[in-house]
Amino acid sequence: MSPRARSALEPAKTNQEQLRNFCIIAHIDHGKSTLADRMLQLTGIVSDRDMRAQYLDRMDIERERGITIKSQAVRLPWELAGETFALNMIDTPGHVDFTYEVSRSLAACEGAVLLVDAAQGIEAQTLANLYLAMENDLEIIPVLNKIDLPAAQPEKFAEELANLIGGSPEDCLRVSGKTGEGVAELLDRIVERVPAPKGNIDGPARAMIFDSVYDSYRGVVTYVRMIDGRLSPREQIQMMSTKAVHELLEIGVISPEPQATKGLAAGEVGYLITGVKDVRQSKVGDTVTTKQNPAKEALKGYAEPKPMVFSGIYPIDGSDYPNLREALDKLRLSDASLVYEPETSAALGFGFRCGFLGLLHLEIITERLEREFNLSLIATSPSVVYEVTREDNTQFIVTNPSEFPEGKIKEVREPIVKATILSPKDYVGTIMELCQNKRGTMLDMQYLGEDRVQLRYQLPLAEIVFDFFDQLKSKTQGYASLDYEEDGYLAGDLVKVDLLLQGEKVDAFSSIVHRDKAYGHGTKIAAKLRELIPRQQFEVPIQAAVGSRIIARETIRAIRKDVLAKCYGGDISRKRKLLEKQKEGKKRMKMVGRVEVPQEAFIAALSSDETSKTEKKK
């Protein structure tokens, strides 16, 4: 084992020459958290006894799903050739929904470890992040992980990495986060290769906020990368965008638990606490300076993340509405990307239209609302933002299909993305067919190695939001990976499909689809609703319509009887327990007009058949 640093360098007094700031770019299951675990152990900041798997993933959801949602920064002591260094590892989320967080982490580093599973090769999202890192002039350290796996093909993928970033395949380190093999060499390599920060230690303080997290005990904890100068406790600090002044109650580093320090100096990474309660008062991308000696120019910030996907979130039990509001308010404290505003649905009552970065973000938020706040919710089918122009030239921004304007429509524009798909070459035909089917336009295609292909497509975001990723995964046995970025708006031949129960429009079931698909879509949803809505004492016609034209029709026949034949001595307790269960079941029904519609219908009717929960979590 490589030598551990005997003593850590003291924050605020560390020479920039002895600092190394790096992040790890990796695909979701390529072993980043496990590698981080080994680094924590090897550098001695977590004892073997205190170790637990995925130490840095704080939320239950993160550990359960094996994904990182929020970034973290950990200071690691390390010694090489008799000299002690402080390494700051800035964790990055690996999911496409959280790309904007990745770019923030990258801006706080001078180097990036490109971590790739030696059995799987690089994935589309990793590639996208790699390009981001290269654009930021970060020193890239290629690493193949999981070399302990029997299926590992380090030679093959070292070659692939060398092709991507230049250099020779021999530069590619081989490690196993599981066994710890090669991790010490990796830390050595980081010290050798990642450039030290070069800030102006004597200039006015400038610190870049790269994350802001709400902690229920301490208020907002702000993660910063010091660029120039110093910050000390009790100092008056100033946010350069808002000019707001706060007292610096605490400043410190994470190693791996928060440790208050006597300050932070240029090149260092750490956290600030000022007592503010809302993450938006400590905005990511803002520059922190001091009131005493303010910097003249702010650092270049980040683009604010824009919600891409909208969904209506409603409590099943209408009386939970205030609780839902409170829960959203609380979640927003730690998640600045979550936006929402009150909305009313004729079918679902009072709720909120919420904007998310993507589907995973939507899923995580609804899951947290249900789990952490004990709410039963209905989330309507996700929708993107449409720009609709009527013949009379009035314009509408439509985030909710039910708000699609009536009357003659001149043009509907929808958000477009540029998608990058990486896949073994055998699936190219299948993928092209899928993209075609999803209204995609091919931009280009290129071979990354002998058998791996990169396809780039222009696709409507709405298609991706719906079930593209699930289908891509299932049609390629999980081998293909996907990344996408916004690419403006384009006009499309889009129409609103309404669903009617007993002749009444149910706003929560409306959707906006391409005209060519309206019939298929309407037929499918009507058929699904027929399956999902229990028979009632009267006939329930289900219709799908575009405007006033009915495009599909189904009927739920009236139930003829609802009575248990036998009820004698031994049946009574059983029957009463059944009644209790039915009472519970009825609570989870929404009355739409006279029709009882189960909660599942709102979600299931609008999701694709192929969608399985487990696929989605990948």
Partner 1 sequence: MASALPVGIPWPESGLIPARFGSDQTFHAYVHIPFCEVRCGYCDFNTYTAKEIGGVSQAEFHHSLIAEINKSAEVIRDSGYRERKLSTVFFGGGTPSLFSGKQIASIVQSLEDVFGFEPQVEITTEANPESTTPAFLAELTKSGITRVSLGAQSFDPDVLQTLDRIHDPKKVKPLVEAANQLGLETSIDLIYGAPGESLDSWKQTVSTALDLGTGHISAYSLIVEPGTKLARQIRSGELANTNEDLDAEKYAYADQAFSEAGLDWYEFSNWGKPSKHNQAYWRSQDWWGYGPGSHSHLSGNRFWNTKHPLTYQKQLETRVPVAGLEYLDTKTHLEERLMLELRTSVGVPLAVIEQLGISSEKLTEFVTSNQLQISGGQVQVTDSGRLFVDRIVLDLLT
For partner 1, the closer of residues 217 and 568 by Cβ is: 568
Q: How far is the CB of 526 from partner 1 (least distance, A)?
A: 22
Neighbours of 450 (CB within 10 A): 9
For partner 1, the closer of residues 3 and 585 by Cβ is: 585
Take residue 547 and report the two structure tokens written for it. 């405007």
Q: How far is the CB of 612 from partner 1 (least distance, A)?
A: 24
Three-state secondary structure string covering 170-190: HHCEECCCCCCCCHHHHHHHH
Q: How far is the CB of 603 from partner 1 (least distance, A)?
A: 23
Upper half-sphere CA count for residue 22 (Cβ side, 13 Å): 30
Q: How far is the CB of 578 from partner 1 (least distance, A)?
A: 9
Q: Which of 454, 462, 463 is nearest to 126 (CA)?
A: 454
Residue 32 · residue 94 · CB < 8 Å = yes
Q: How far is the CB of 287 from partner 1 (least distance, A)?
A: 58
Q: In a 3-state reduction of DSSP, which class is residue 243? A: coil
For partner 1, the closer of residues 291 and 577 by Cβ is: 577
Q: How far is the CB of 530 from partner 1 (least distance, A)?
A: 16
Neighbours of 349 (CB within 10 A): 16
Distance CA 476, CA 614 (A): 16
For partner 1, the closer of residues 344 and 537 by Cβ is: 537
DSSP character for 320? G
Distances, alpha carbon 69 to alpha carbons 267, 326, 395, 430, in Å: 25, 22, 36, 31
Q: How far is the CB of 398 from partner 1 (least distance, A)?
A: 37
Distances, alpha carbon 19 to alpha carbons 88, 199, 226, 250, in Å: 8, 11, 12, 22
For partner 1, the closer of residues 303 and 563 by Cβ is: 563
Neighbours of 395 (CB within 10 A): 12
Distance CA 379, CA 107 (A): 35
Distance, first Cα to last Cα, the chain: 35
Q: How far is the CB of 580 from partner 1 (least distance, A)?
A: 9
Amino acid at 248: L
Distance CA 142, CA 190 (A): 11
Q: How far is the CB of 584 from partner 1 (least distance, A)?
A: 10
For partner 1, the closer of residues 291 and 586 by Cβ is: 586
Q: How far is the CB of 535 from partner 1 (least distance, A)?
A: 9
Distance CA 606, CA 578 (A): 30
Which segments within 274-408 are labelled E, that is strand?
Answer: 287-290, 309-315, 339-345, 349-356, 377-379, 386-390, 395-398
For partner 1, the closer of residues 478 and 585 by Cβ is: 585
The pairing of strands 494-501 and 481-491 is unpaired
For partner 1, the closer of residues 566 and 613 by Cβ is: 566
Distance CA 240, CA 297 (A): 8
Q: How far is the CB of 258 from partner 1 (least distance, A)?
A: 48
Q: Which residues bind partner 1 (CB under 8 A)?
A: 537, 557, 559-570, 572-577, 579, 582-583, 586-587
Neighbours of 205 (CB within 10 A): 26
Q: Rg (Cα) of the chain, in Å, rounded?
A: 27
